[in-house]
Amino acid sequence: MSEVIWGMVTSHVPSIGAAMDHGKTQDPYWKPLFDGYQPAREWMAEHRPDVAIVIYNDHANGVDLDVVPAFAIGTADRYPVADEGWGPRPVPEVVGDPDLSQHLIEHLIDDGFDMTLFQELDVDHGLTVPLSIYCPDPGEAWPCRVVPLLVNVIQYPQPTAARCYALGRAIGRALASYQPDVKVAIFGTGGMSHQLAGARAGFVNPKFDAMFLEAIQTDPERLAALSREELIRQAGSEGIELIMWLVMRGAMNDEIRRIHETYHVPASNTAAALALFDNRGD
């Protein structure tokens, strides 16, 4: 039987990946951020999953804006690293898990979530930066297979926080009936507060982030009740990425144990956070 062993939520700021790719993690600007990751990285290195379901958004890099699915899932056996304008990041190609993708698709569609399928997909910083945060030195290959699950957060109307939480619940139910004996980790990516353009460019909201970082464990229903407008008002226009954390939370048990958290302002324009949860409660 498959088992969800842990969930991690993390920001996916592209320059975090660039700092790693260019050997800048010990520079004064970046060191506090990467120091904050260390305890989580050590725990995750001791608890390796066979497969990670990475809830993320493409930023019009791998998927152009002609077609904008609310929710989509990758079905491929490999996902090339996207070229976002400076050439692909020097990290391994992402290896998929088509069997698990197929199982999720069938169960999610039967459960009322009409997923779009990506049979081919280049993965951008939304997915590769969280993988680098999980595993800084992958060498030739990432240490687990990956199922990319995409959420539209970049074009109005994005799915609601409540719908994302419900999708997570449905993923949890689907995994409960997945027979192969695999250990699964769930990544919820993006956030926390940030706004990249417009009159409020540079906006961050540590007070809101602190509430969200706590409630993602203890009161996800409160977060699922936030409207799109409220999320953007409180977390900035790109802070709405936080709805993806609710997909992770929905796929986990009601009681989960916080292994580590870290919060750092700023990483580029973003209030960056990581929180790691064991799926077994206290």
Q: What does the alpha-carbon distance between residue 221 and residue 202 come to, in Å, rounded to a whole number? A: 28
231 touches 163 (CB < 8 A): no
124 touches 61 (CB < 8 A): yes
**CB count in 10 Å sphere of residue 32:** 11
How much helix, strand and coil, in percent to the nearest 5, is found in the chain? 35, 20, 40
103 carries an active-site annotation = no
Cβ of residue 277: shortest distance to ligand DHB, in angstroms? 21
233 touches 193 (CB < 8 A): no
Cβ of residue 126: shortest distance to ligand DHB, in angstroms? 6
Cβ of residue 274: shortest distance to ligand DHB, in angstroms? 14
Nearer to ligand DHB, 163 or 194 (CB): 194
Nearer to ligand DHB, 7 or 239 (CB): 239
The one catalytic residue in 12, 59, 107, 194 is 194
Nearer to ligand DHB, 12 or 260 (CB): 12
The one catalytic residue in 59, 125, 260, 264 is 125
Cβ of residue 152: shortest distance to ligand DHB, in angstroms? 14
Q: Which residues lie near ligand DHB (CB under 6 A)? A: 12-15, 59, 190, 194, 196, 238, 268-270
| Nearest residue to the partner ligand DHB, using Cβ | 268
Q: What does the alpha-carbon distance between residue 227 and residue 207 come to, in Å, rounded to a whole number? A: 18
Backbone dihedral angles phi then psi of residue 183, each to the nearest 5 degrees: -95, 130
Cβ of residue 244: shortest distance to ligand DHB, in angstroms? 11
Give me 212's structure tokens: 């969200």
47 carries an active-site annotation = no
Nearer to ligand DHB, 49 or 236 (CB): 236
Nearer to ligand DHB, 160 or 268 (CB): 268
Cβ of residue 169: shortest distance to ligand DHB, in angstroms? 25
Q: Is 257 exposed, middle or buried (0-12, 13-18, 19+ CB in 10 A)?
A: middle
Q: What does the alpha-carbon distance between residue 211 and residue 22 come to, in Å, rounded to a whole number? A: 34
Nearer to ligand DHB, 253 or 268 (CB): 268
Calculate Rg over the CA atoms of the chain: 17
Q: What does the alpha-carbon distance between residue 223 and residue 238 come to, in Å, rounded to a whole number? A: 16
Give me 279's structure tokens: 């799926």
Q: What does the alpha-carbon distance between residue 89 and residue 262 come to, in Å, rounded to a whole number? A: 25
- Residues classed as catalytic: 125, 194
